[in-house]
Amino acid sequence: MAADAQRILHLAHTLDGYASGGVGAYVRGLAAAQSATGAWVDAVDAAALAGPARGFAGSWSRPEVAAALAARVRRDRVGIVHVHHFSGVGFDVVDASRAAGARVIVTVHDHAIACARGQRIDRAGRRCPGPTTARCARCVTPDGLPGRLGRARIAARIAAASRLEPDAWLTVAPHLGPPGATLCQLPLVQAPLPREAHDGPVRFVFVGSLIPTKGADLVVAAFKRLPAGAATLDVIGASPPWNGSTRYADALRAERVPGLTVHPPGPTGPWYATSDVLLFPSQWDEGCPLVLREAAASGLHVVASDVPGARVALPSYPVRWVHDGDWFSALAGCVAGVPRPAPAVFPTLAEHVDWLEAVYRGAIS
């Protein structure tokens, strides 16, 4: 049976509301926009297909997910399987989907292919130059297996990643690769709301998961040094475990500082509309963070760590880049005066759907 570019199945690590982060928001928005064109579209995650992943093996090999996905491809006559994340999904889905008759597109959003931990950040919080058997053996514990057997599992994962051959590679940032991948310009998933004028102190906002690599603690520490009443800081984000613990997020939520409020995750548009400055203190090499594009589309002043993904997301928008970790000076500068840049313009979902349709048809032909 020939593949049909109008029958599309998206696969992600999770589609569980705000816990799925920017990738989940993008996949849900994309699937809805494609459905509106009359295409048959569905979106699933690994847990829906075969339950949650367990242990190191679940970061790269889940035959049960591959079998369930292949069955869906055959049952629903899927022509395009679009994979957005391999964490908890397993590399097996590529060959299984193609054997079932679909073409496979992979969009690389972060480091989850190369890194079992997903962000190329080791357990000590240091940036990792890349996977090797010895290096990964010091960082992850493959199914609790010590020594030679554990290293063999790591070597198998690295080899399996090198053998991935979808029909088309897309990447949201050049530094994520692989070589030859087509750059995918991420669209705005939500339209910006009108800005609301306000009196009083400058309003800072942080939007992102409350895990160490996102750096919320850095801006909280800097905010605490500002004069009382000089600004407010709203921190909005989910609290996923980090190394199996939520202590980092719990500590942030326990802060008692005048003007600082830590909120549960929720719709972000109203926060962009009522804030002055987005703080983006990320500590890892991001992909193309949607939060940056959403804030820029709302005309916020952006203060961001100078990490590669941030530069990709905002290549021409006026940003105050923090190079040396001096977040106090960055925040104090905003208290003295906040620039008012013109809102940035990014591809719409409709334009993105048209672009992807050409990618799909190219993979089929």
Mind listing the pLDDT tens digit of every residue in the chain (365 residues)? 467 878 999 999 888 877 678 899 999 999 999 999 999 999 999 999 999 888 888 889 999 999 999 999 999 999 999 999 998 899 999 999 999 999 999 999 999 999 998 889 888 888 899 999 999 988 888 877 878 878 999 999 999 999 999 999 999 999 998 999 999 999 999 899 999 989 899 999 999 999 999 999 999 999 999 999 999 999 999 998 888 889 999 999 999 999 999 999 999 999 999 999 999 999 999 999 999 999 999 999 999 999 989 999 999 999 999 988 999 999 999 999 999 999 999 999 999 999 999 999 999 98
Measure Cα distances from 101 to 35, 174, 363 in Å: 21, 30, 13
- Examine residue 308 and state whether it is found in any structural domain, yes or no: yes
Does an H or E element contain 212, and which? none
Do 12 and 87 lie in a common domain?
yes
- Examine residue 155 and state whether it is found in any structural domain, yes or no: no
Do 26 and 80 lie in a common domain?
yes
Query: Which tokens belong to 37?
Result: 């064109």
Query: Phi then psi for 8, rounded to 5 degrees?
Result: -120, 135
pLDDT of residue 183: 95
User: Rounded to an integer, what distance in angstroms lies between the CA atom of residue 278 and that of residue 280?
Assistant: 6
Do 39 and 60 lie in a common domain?
yes
Do 25 and 71 lie in a common domain?
yes
- Examine residue 154 and state whether it is found in any structural domain, yes or no: no
Do 308 and 237 lie in a common domain?
yes
29-51: b (≥16 Cβ within 10 Å) or e: bbbebbeeeebebebbbbbebbe
Residues spanned by the domain of 240? 202-336
Do 296 and 359 lie in a common domain?
no
Does an H or E element contain 158, and which? helix 147-162
Do 58 and 106 lie in a common domain?
yes
Query: Which tokens belong to 56?
Result: 């190191």
* Paired strand residues for 171: 108, 183
Do 206 and 318 lie in a common domain?
yes
Do 328 and 358 lie in a common domain?
no
Beta strands in 162-272 (DSSP E): 168-171, 182-183, 202-207, 231-236, 260-263
Do 272 and 306 lie in a common domain?
yes
Q: Supply the DSSP string of 227-254, one letter for each residue.
A: PTTSEEEEEE-----BTTB-HHHHHHHT
Query: Which tokens belong to 172?
Result: 């949201």
pTM for this predicted structure = 0.93
pLDDT of residue 41: 97
pLDDT of residue 228: 93
- Quote the number of domains for the chain: 2
- Examine residue 283 and state whether it is found in any structural domain, yes or no: yes
- Examine residue 127 and state whether it is found in any structural domain, yes or no: no
Beta strands in the chain (DSSP E): 7-12, 40-45, 80-83, 103-108, 168-171, 182-183, 202-207, 231-236, 260-263, 277-280, 301-305, 319-322
Q: Supply the DSSP string of 297-325, one letter for each residue.
A: HTT-EEEEE--HHHHHH-SSS-EEEESSS
Q: At what angle are helices 349-364 and 21-36 packed, to 10 degrees?
A: 80
- Examine residue 119 and state whether it is found in any structural domain, yes or no: no
- Examine residue 157 and state whether it is found in any structural domain, yes or no: no
Do 210 and 256 lie in a common domain?
yes
Closest CA to 6 of 135, 102, 98, 97: 102
How buried is 267 (Cβ within 10 angstroms: 0-12 exposed, 13-18 middle, 19+ buried)? exposed
pLDDT of residue 123: 80
Do 312 and 177 lie in a common domain?
no
- Examine residue 121 and state whether it is found in any structural domain, yes or no: no
CATH number of residue 306's parent domain = 3.40.50.2000
User: Rounded to an integer, what distance in angstroms lies between the CA atom of residue 75 and that of residue 78?
Assistant: 8
- Percentages helix, strand, coil for the chain (3-state, rounded to 5) are 40, 15, 45
pLDDT of residue 2: 65
SS3 278: strand
